A and B are shown apart, each in its own frame.
Chain A
């Protein structure tokens, strides 16, 4: 009697798990997208989306470092222009008057 209950419980759990995996399988069967999806489910242009995110991060931290942005060196010349537009005073100490910050 107890083994019947056990078998019934395992069958129910198995069916539920099987159903869950079927749902996951259906979801996984859709083509995956490297940079996510649009609202209607189409894949996003991955290089464009990745570049947009990196630009947002670089422009949102204009003074994180006077040395370099946290990017690979090969990208320095591409992202050097925000530094050229964002004046960070680096003059030697002035003669007379307080130091230029």
Chain B
């Protein structure tokens, strides 16, 4: 019996040794969270205000020629994120996010307002760290239709230029998007990452104009947006004070259907982006620069019979209606104790598409510039405050050819008065919010 007791004590001792080894082990390269920090909950919210005025209302093609446009938007997103490690080799990240928005366009002939909750998005990611040199992850994202997809009457006018307000669409269907990928650390500070994502987009009902003379005379249409398959690859490195990351993504999409009929398929889309950050010595802070480029091949569109105007089938459009997009974002944050503050600037250019300016399908070039300030304050161990203010300018190039020919919807018909002169807009974006970690 004595021997049995000694054996049991030896078992207990070995187990205790293992528990002791689970305590945090400080190392110069990594810190492991102790048991109380295995799960972390973060709550966050923001208050955002956007206002704009313009030479014309939005959309510019249906706005009255001599009526200046204006509008505003209040958007309040809120989110909760749970990050944890149930065991050392597994990390789980779960995020849920909702919001509320009020959007108002105050343009003569295009006035309208919508107040609604936004769609709700969620995401869950599981990452496995048990393999040296290979960290796979699986993720699934959702969009739940808690917003308003169909806006009847003048409410449809509350959809404003997405270059001037953040929320320009107030709802869609139930979407689910699984992503599978992995990180391959070539060295501790040089990492390659690859992933593939598929987005299954659900049906939703949206309003549809019944007549060309009164856009407020509407009926419902069932939209079945195309599903999206995307391959992404990226390479990131930290070299002393410089962090660099380049990312490329290729997306293809299936047909979009309206009331059961295939009407549209976007061309294959390529996106490339580079992100760079440099941390200056002392309190000179951090400079960040992001440069991006996007290109899409020609869409497939619905052709109609020249004689009967009945739709025939989807086919590749004669010219590419997609513009290339070029984007540069810059910011610098100075370190001032618990606060960081500094300037930011962005520049976006979408070039004109491939159609002749004498056609209805022509889209002129557009630029968007912003200049502003950003501040972040670590008010407490668990509370971070942020504030941001930006002045925005956009300019849509001249498209004043006044009797355009339609190549697609109503083939070769002349649309009088369809030209739009150059349009300049400006606005403000204000944002303030906090993150609270429990």
Contact = CB atoms under 8 A, between A and B. Distances in A.
Interface of A: 6-7, 10-11, 14, 17-18, 21-22, 24-25, 28-29, 31-46, 48-49, 51-53, 55-57, 59-74, 76-77, 80-88, 90-101
A97 B59 contact: no
Contacts of B263: 98, 101
Ordered nearest first, which 3 A-B pairs have the shortest CB separation? A60-B197, A39-B133, A70-B123
Contact of A45 (B189, B325, B348): B189
Interface in B2-29: 3-4, 7-8, 10-11, 14-15, 17-18, 21-22, 25, 27, 29
Given A55-B193, A63-B201, 15 more contacts: A25-B17, A31-B30, A32-B88, A34-B31, A39-B132, A41-B132, A53-B183, A55-B247, A60-B249, A62-B199, A73-B45, A86-B271, A101-B225, A101-B258, A101-B264
19 contacts: A21-B14, A21-B15, A29-B21, A31-B25, A31-B30, A34-B31, A36-B183, A56-B137, A61-B177, A61-B228, A62-B230, A63-B201, A64-B175, A67-B99, A71-B97, A73-B77, A73-B78, A81-B329, A93-B206
A63 B135 contact: no
Interface residues of B, number: 131
Contacts of A82: 271, 273
Interface string B29-49: 111110000000010111000
Contact of B79 (A32, A72, A88, A95): A72
B343 interface: no
B18 A28 contact: yes
Contacts of B78: 73
B179 interface: yes
A77 B375 CA distance: 13
A85 B271 contact: yes
A79 B172 CA distance: 20
Interface in B233-268: 234, 236-238, 243, 245, 247, 249, 251, 253, 256, 258, 263-264
Contacts of B156: 92-93
A70 B290 contact: no
Given A64-B143, A99-B208, A71 B193 contact: no
Specify which of B27, B31, B141, B292 lies most central, judged by the most chain A CB atoms within 10 Å of its CB.
Answer: B141
A36 to B, nearest CB: 4
Interface string B327-344: 101000000000000000
Nearest to A39: B133
DSSP majority for the B interface? strand
A80 B187 CA distance: 30
Interface stretch (B64-72, B162-170, B397-405, B420-428): B162-170
Contacts of A35: 129, 135, 183
Given A55-B234, A68-B77, A87-B322, A38 B185 contact: yes
B383 interface: no
A74 B292 contact: no
Contacts of A44: 135, 183, 185, 188, 191
Given A28-B21, A60-B249, A70-B121, A34 B32 contact: yes
B435 interface: yes
B159 to A, nearest CB: 5
A74 B122 CA distance: 16
B69 to A, nearest CB: 13
B177 A64 contact: yes
Nearest to B263: A98
Contacts of A52: 183, 191, 193, 234, 236, 245
Interface in B200-220: 201, 206-209, 212-213, 215, 218
Given A52-B183, A90-B168, A68 B99 contact: yes
A28 B77 CA distance: 41
A96 B406 CA distance: 12
B25 A29 contact: yes
Interface in B286-309: 290, 292-294, 296, 302
Contacts of B14: 17-18, 21-22
B374 to A, nearest CB: 8
B81 interface: yes
Interface string B68-104: 0000000001110100000010000001010100000
